[in-house]
Amino acid sequence: MKRREFLQTTAAATVGTAFLSGLPIGAYGYSAQLAALTNATTQSDKVLVIIQLQGGNDGLNMIIPLDQYPALMAARSNIVLPQNQVLGLTTATGIHPAMASLHNMYQNGKLGVVQSVGYPNPNFSHFRATDIWTSGSDSNVTWTTGWAGRYLNGEYPGFPTGYPSTQNPDPLAISIGSVVSNCVQGPTVNMGMAIASTSSFYQLLSGGVDAAPNTPAGHELTFIRQVVSQTQVYTTAIQAAAGRAQNLSPLYPAAGQNSLADQLKIVAQLVAGGLQTRIYVCQLGGFDTHTLQVPATGSTTGGTHATLLGKIAEAVNAFQDDLQRHSIQDRVVGLTFSEFGRRIRSNSGYGTDHGAAAPLLVFGSKVNPIVHGPNPTLPASAGVNDNIPMQFDFRSIYTSILKDWFQVTPSTLTQLFGQTFPYVPVLRAGTATATASAAQVAEFTVYPNPAPRDGRTTVAYDCAGGHVQVVLLDALGREVRRAVDRVLAAGPQFLPVDLSGLAAGAYYCQVREAQRTGSRIVAVE
C-alpha cells in the first residue's frame, strides 16, 4: 500500500491510537465549509471552541426559570434546587450554584445564555440526535456526511494530497476526544485526521507512543502506532506551537481531575503558541442522568449533575483566564451543546429522562452577555411526557456565529445547511460584521384561545420587518404546524393558523423573528 493510500484509508480511524496529551485530538484539513467557518481565505485569526456535553444535559437544572418556581417545584420536587441557592443572572433567570465561576463571567460580560435550543420534531435517541447536531440536517432527513466534511470535499476534493502547504501549514480543526466527529465526514472519505488521548499530548511532543502489551499483537500495535505518529503531517506544526507557549492560569485543576479542563488547557497552549487552527472540539460525557442526578438523601445542590456542571464552569473559567493572561482573549469564542435536554418532570429515580430543547452557553470576551429569549413556559402540572419546546433552532446559532465570527456569506451558509435560519446576535455588535441588538421577547396575542378543533386561530403580531416563523408545537416539543415561514413587512400582522386535523389539547404557539422570539400556550378544544 502506498503511503498516501494508507493515510487516506486509515488516518481517521487509527490516529486515535496516537495520543495528544492523553486526550483524543483530531486535526482536520481544509474545507469549503471549514473555509467559510475559519475564513481561511482572508487570513482570519479567529478561533471557535465547541464543547459537546455527551448524554443529554438537563437544562432546567443548569439555567433555572426563577419566575416559574411553583411549576418547577410541582414537576420535579425530588431534584429541584432550593430557590435561595440559585444564582441570579436576571430577575427571572438563574444558574446552578455549582457554576458560580460562570455566574461571575456573566456579570463580567463574558458569558451568554441561549434559551431552549433544539430543532423541530426532536429525536430522543442519543445516536440519532447526535447525528442531527453534527450533520446539521432536519430530523426527518439522514445525511451520511457531516457539515464540515461536505465543505471539505467540495472545496478541496484532493485532500489530503498537497497538505499542509505554505499557505495552510496548520490543521484547520483539532478535535480533542476519543471519537472522530461525524461533522468532518465527506462523501467518500473522512476529511480529517485524529489523535485520541490527552495523556499522550506530551508523548506526541516528545515523539513517543503509548506502551503496548509485550505480545505479538502488541508488537504489531506498537508498529502501527509508530507509523501513525510518523504520518501525522501536522505533528511538526503542533510541536512548534506547543513549544512557543505555556499555560499561565493557576485556575486549572490538577491533571486528570477534570477532563474538560485538561482539553481546554491544550487548546489555550496551542492558540497562545500561534497555531492557526480555527476550530477546536472538546467533549465531556456523563450527562445521561436517568437516575441519581441528585443524591437520594441530602441536599439537591450536590450529586452527579452538579459535579458535571462544576467541571464545565471550572474548565471554562480557567481557560478564559489563561487566554486573558496571554492577551488573546479577543480571538476566541466558545459554545456548548448537548444532543438533547431532559423532560420537565423528574422520575422516581431522582433523575430525568430524554427530552427536547435545552439552553446553550456561549463564552468569551466577544459574546453578547445576555440571556437570549424568555424562560421556557412550564405547565402548572407537567406530565411525564411534557417537554421544553424549542425557541431557537441550533442551526440559527451555528449560522449566526459563522456569519459574525468568520464572516461567512449568506449564500455559503444556505449551501452548507440547505436552508436559511433566523439570525441570533450571540456575539457583540461590531465583533466582525454588523451584529443586531440584543435578543428581545416577541410580544403577540392569539385569538380565539381556547380555539376550536378543525377551525383556526389568529396571531396578532407587530412585525419589525424580516423573516418570520409562526409554528405550533405539541407537549413533546414536536412541530405540528408551520403557519408562517417567510419575509413579512414591518407593521401589524394578523396571521391565521389552521388547526384542522389537530387533536384536542394544549399546544405551544411560537413567533420567531430575527432576534425576537415569544411563546404562548394555546388550548385546542
What is the C-alpha separation between 157 and 135, in angstroms, rounded? Answer: 19
Q: Tell me the per-residue pLDDT of 249-272, one tens digit each, with 9 for 90 and over.
A: 999 999 999 999 999 999 999 999
Domain end point (choices 376, 411, 436)? 436
On the CB side of 285, CA atoms within 13 Å amount to: 6
CATH of the domain at 470: 2.60.40.3080
**Residue 302 grid coordinates:** 450536590
- Binned at pLDDT 50, 70 and 90, residue 220 comes out as low
Contact 173, 141 (CB under 8 A): no
> Which of 377, 408, 436 lies at the terminal end of a domain, its last residue?
436
Mean pLDDT across 337-347: 97
How far is Cα 35 from Cα 408, in angstroms, rounded to an integer?
Answer: 9
Regarding whether 483 and 369 lie in a shared domain, the answer is: no
Same domain, 235 and 285: yes
Q: What pLDDT, on the 0 to 100 scale, is given for residue 87?
A: 95
Domain-ending residue, one of 408, 436, 464: 436
Domain match, 69 and 188 both: yes
Least confident residue range of 119-128, 176-185, 392-401: 176-185
Same domain membership, residue 380 and residue 508:
no
Residue 487 and residue 405 in one domain? no
Number of other residues whose CB lies within 10 A of the CB of residue 220? 11
Regarding whether 487 and 377 lie in a shared domain, the answer is no
One domain, residues 396 and 513? no
Facing residues of 28 across strands?
Answer: 173, 192
What pLDDT score does 314 carry?
97
Question: Does position 54 have pLDDT exceeding 90, yes or no?
Answer: yes
Please state, for a pLDDT cut of 70, what percent of the chain lies above it: 76
Distance of CA 84 to the CA centre of its chain: 29
Higher pLDDT, 206 or 425: 425
SS (HEC) of 291-354: CCCCCCCCCCCCCHHHHHHHHHHHHHHHHHHHHHHCCCHHHEEEEEEECCCECCCCCCCCCCCE
pLDDT at 214 over 80: no
Together in a domain, 81 and 178: yes
Domain ranges, residue 452: 444-524
pLDDT given for residue 408 in this prediction: 78
Judgement on whether residues 479 and 336 belong to the same structural domain of the protein: no
Count: domains in the chain: 2
Model confidence over 488-497: pLDDT tens digits? Answer: 999 999 999 9
**Shared domain check, 419 and 398:** yes
pLDDT at 216 (0 to 100): 64
The pTM score is 0.80
pLDDT (tens digit, 9 = 90+) per residue, 382-435? 999 999 989 899 999 988 988 898 887 888 888 888 898 888 899 987 654 433
Q: Would you state the cell numbers that stand for residue 70, as one nine-digit string?
A: 411553583
Higher pLDDT, 164 or 111: 111
C-alpha cell at 514: 430575527
Mean pLDDT of 280-285: 89
3-state helix, strand, coil in the chain (%, to 5): 30, 25, 45
**What phi, psi does 136 have (nearest 5°)?**
80, 25
Which residues lie closer than 8 Å to 273 by C-beta, 6 or more apart? 240, 241, 242, 243, 244, 245
Beta bridge partners, 153, equal none
Same domain, 366 and 471: no
Which residue is listed with cell 404557539?
A: 509
Position 503 pLDDT exceeds 80: yes
Query: Are 369 and 487 members of one domain?
Result: no
pLDDT reading at 438 higher than 60: no
Exposed e or buried b for every residue in 351-387, given b needs 16+ CB within 10 A? bbbbbbbbbbbbbbbbbbbbbbbbbbbbbeebeeebb
Contact yes or no for 464/511 (Cβ under 8 A): no
